Amino acid sequence: MQQSNCFQEIESNVLSKSNISPSSRTLKRWLGTLLTGGLLLLTIFVELERQEHHTHEQSPFGHIPDLAMSGGDPYVRALMRTISASESNAKNPYILLYGGKHTHDLDQHPDLCMPITVGINHGNCSTAAGRYQFITSTWLEKASLYHPNPSHTEALTEYSFAPEYQDEVTYRWLKDDSTWSVSIPTLLRQGEINEVLRLLSGTWTSLGFGIETNSMSPYLTEVYQLVLAEELKRSQH
Instruction: Provide the residue count of the chain.
Output: 237
Cα 217 vs. chain centroid, distance in angstroms?
19
pLDDT grade for 19, boundaries at 50, 70 and 90: low
Q: For the residues 41-64, what does the mean pLDDT come to?
A: 59
CB atoms within 10 A of CB 199: 17
| Of 144, 141, 146, residue with least CA distance to 168 | 146
* DSSP class per residue in 198-234: HHHTTTSTTSSSSS---TTGGGHHHHHHHHHHHHHHH
Give the end-to-end CA distance of the chain in Å, rounded to a whole number: 55
- pTM listed for this prediction: 0.74
The predicted model gives 56-61 an average pLDDT of: 52
Q: What pLDDT does residue 46 have?
A: 60
Residues 204/39, Cβ–Cβ less than 8 Å: no
Architecture of the domain defined by 74-235: Orthogonal Bundle (1.10)
Cα 112 to Cα 168: distance, rounded to the nearest angstrom: 22
CB 150 within 8 A of CB 143: yes
Q: How much is the mean pLDDT over the chain?
A: 85
Q: 85-139, pLDDT tens digit by residue?
A: 999 988 999 999 999 999 999 999 999 999 998 877 888 999 999 999 999 999 9
In angstroms, what is the C-alpha Rg of the chain? 29
